[in-house]
């Protein structure tokens, strides 16, 4: 009999792949990694195996929580001679009736970590062989999957980029050259073949196989001779980073999340610390006071990060954030010439949460940005555009150190509740990851909500003088946000659910060992269970 487990993701493909691993005797790591690979079928425009990710793992037997950083490195260790292929492309988002410029081209690619990182973590912490873990996604990619509304919407957001590559035109367009719509069939036989060959390798052979079949084509396609920045030394230098999590207390719970060089985990830490400092518990979930306190804190964290991208590394960062919060609580916001408001772009990130009846848990967040318009030749893998992601570079595009791990908002998180319950969660949504997760943690820990109730609460986000709010889920909006608007110049109302506010997927085990899952309806949250 298989272990009882809950898996939450944004597609049936990922959920079913994870469940298959649990039924086969695998552990939560096997399940999470199989589900992560399956995003290549279930969320193929949101992420790819040439992107980056972060995994959190709780080992209940050892009483430990670890972070596996599989994110991308900045290239350029051997310099970048010659012109760089790097350009902007305007993408229209009908959800927000806005246009955003993304930066693509061969020079937008950072050194990817997803494929090699997932293989490394599986070898280190999984039970099942790589070939078995890859089998579900290979079937999906070969046989094809029926495109559902969520996938079709994601395709439409990035159509302008997907059409640029041969792989994109082959996989995301129908025989008439039209973008795949709901009911169409998505497949990627080239990627299926790549993964089948990789899965046939013994563990000691996998590294050499990846070097020959993945890294060499990357160097040929995205090296300086082709207008890219990636060099042989860059590829040789990348490795997964196994880190201790950022650990802190909040409302009698222990929180574990992604540490520096991530922006996400430290942002969440400061947000929750300031919420406690601001007395957010005095206003229940959904109350005007709660939203006012959330807005003040979000404003404070956003302002300081914009002013000083290195703020989280300062020895006195706690006092700096606290001082800014006190100032902001004392006076309304005044227009000060900040950068214009961010468009309503959804953020291309996927998340998976897994927990079993013993409290072992794993969460993986993955992305490839929007893709850079090119594929790794012969592999069926679209390449990332992380160097063109403004969210990753608050000091400006190009402000990276060659060889360094790039910062990210990804923040897979584990909560150890005061009563012994355990939750694992994470989200997509670019800059909204930090505010979405913080609001969910408040709901779970401060308000005692169950996963579904926490997800259903209306969310807000404050940045660049704009208070974005889910008016469809906030009772009495906009009047109930009058206090919150003291910390913004204007209100941007969202009258229906969308991807902008993230997609927080929660897997939860209570003190009796009973399992529950919360799949975020904003991103097609899907819950599966075994046992």
Show which residues are catalytic.
Answer: 349
Q: Residues near 331 by Cβ (< 8 Å), separated by ≥ 6?
A: none
CB-count exposure of residue 266 (10 Å: 0-12, 13-18, 19+)? buried
DSSP H helices, 223-334, are 232-237, 264-277, 288-307, 317-330
* Tokens at 459, concatenated: 């969310």
d(C-alpha 306, C-alpha 394), whole Å: 6
Taking residue 239's Cβ as centre, other Cβ atoms within 10 Å add up to: 14
Q: Count Cβ atoms within 10 A of the Cβ of residue 62 and give its class: 0-12 exposed, 13-18 middle, 19 or more buried.
A: exposed
Q: What is the DSSP-derived secondary structure letter of residue 474?
A: S
Q: What secondary structure, in 3-state letters, does 398-461 show? A: CCCCCCCECCCCCCCEEEECCCCCEEEEECCCCCHHHHHHHHHHHHHHHCCCCHHHHHHCCCEE
CB 417, CB 250: distance < 8 Å: no
Strands 490-494 and 466-470: parallel
Q: Can you give the three-state secondary structure of 178-218, one letter per residue?
A: CECCCCCEECCHHHHHHHHHHHCCCHHHHHHHHHHHHHHHH
Cβ proximity of 6 and 508 under 8 Å:
yes
Ramachandran assignment for 516, one of left (phi > 0), alpha (psi -120 to 50 degrees), beta (any other) = beta
The rounded distance, in Å, linking the Cα atoms of 469 and 462 is 9
């Amino acid at each position: 009999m298989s272990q009882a487990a809950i898996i939450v993701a944004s597609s049936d493909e990922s959920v079913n792949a994870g469940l298959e691993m649990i039924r086969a005797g695998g552990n939560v790591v096997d399940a999470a990694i199989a589900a992560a690979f399956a995003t290549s079928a279930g969320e193929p425009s949101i992420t790819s195996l040439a992107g980056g990710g972060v995994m959190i793992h709780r080992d209940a037997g050892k009483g430990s929580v670890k972070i596996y950083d599989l994110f991308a490195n900045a290239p350029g260790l051997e310099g970048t001679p010659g012109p760089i292929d790097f350009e902007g492309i305007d993408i229209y988002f009908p959800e927000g009736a806005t246009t955003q410029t993304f930066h693509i081209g061969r020079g937008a690619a950072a050194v990817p970590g997803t494929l090699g990182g997932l293989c490394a973590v599986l070898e280190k912490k999984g039970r099942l062989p790589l070939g078995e873990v890859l089998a579900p996604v290979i079937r999906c990619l070969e046989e094809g999957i029926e495109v559902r509304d969520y996938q079709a919407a994601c395709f439409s957001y990035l159509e302008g980029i997907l059409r640029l590559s041969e792989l994109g035109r082959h996989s995301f367009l129908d025989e008439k050259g039209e973008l795949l719509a709901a009911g169409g069939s998505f497949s990627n036989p080239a990627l299926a073949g790549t993964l089948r060959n990789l899965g046939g390798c013994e563990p000691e052979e996998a590294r050499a196989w990846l070097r020959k079949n993945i890294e060499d084509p990357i160097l040929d396609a995205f090296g300086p001779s082709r207008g890219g920045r990636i060099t042989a030394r860059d590829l040789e230098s990348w490795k997964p980073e196994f880190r201790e999590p950022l650990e802190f207390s909040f409302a009698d719970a222990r929180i574990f999340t992604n540490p520096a060089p991530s922006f996400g985990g430290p942002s969440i830490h400061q947000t929750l610390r300031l919420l406690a400092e601001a007395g957010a518990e005095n206003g229940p979930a959904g109350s005007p006071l709660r939203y006012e306190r959330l807005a003040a804190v979000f404003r404070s964290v956003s302002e300081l990060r914009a002013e000083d991208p290195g703020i989280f590394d300062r020895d006195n960062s706690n006092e700096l954030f606290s001082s800014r919060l006190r100032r902001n609580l004392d006076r309304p916001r005044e227009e000060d010439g900040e950068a214009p408001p961010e468009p309503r772009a959804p953020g291309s990130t996927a998340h998976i949460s897994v927990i079993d009846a013993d409290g072992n848990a794993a969460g993986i967040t993955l992305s490839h940005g929007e893709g850079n318009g090119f594929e790794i030749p012969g592999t069926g893998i679209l390449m990332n555009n992380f160097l063109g992601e403004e969210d990753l570079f608050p000091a400006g595009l190009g402000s990276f150190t060659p060889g360094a791990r790039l910062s990210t908002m990804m923040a897979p998180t584990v909560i150890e509740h005061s009563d012994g319950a355990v939750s694992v969660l994470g989200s997509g949504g670019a800059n909204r990851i930090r505010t979405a997760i913080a609001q969910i943690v408040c709901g779970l820990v401060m308000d005692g909500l169950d996963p579904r109730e926490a997800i259903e609460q209306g969310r807000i986000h404050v940045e660049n003088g704009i208070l974005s709010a889910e008016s469809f889920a906030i009772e009495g909006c906009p009047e109930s946000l009058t206090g919150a608007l003291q910390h913004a110049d204007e209100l941007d109302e969202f009258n229906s659910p969308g991807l902008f506010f993230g997609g927080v997927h929660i897997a939860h085990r209570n003190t009796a060992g009973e399992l529950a899952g919360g799949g975020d309806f904003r991103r097609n949250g899907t819950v599966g269970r075994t046992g």
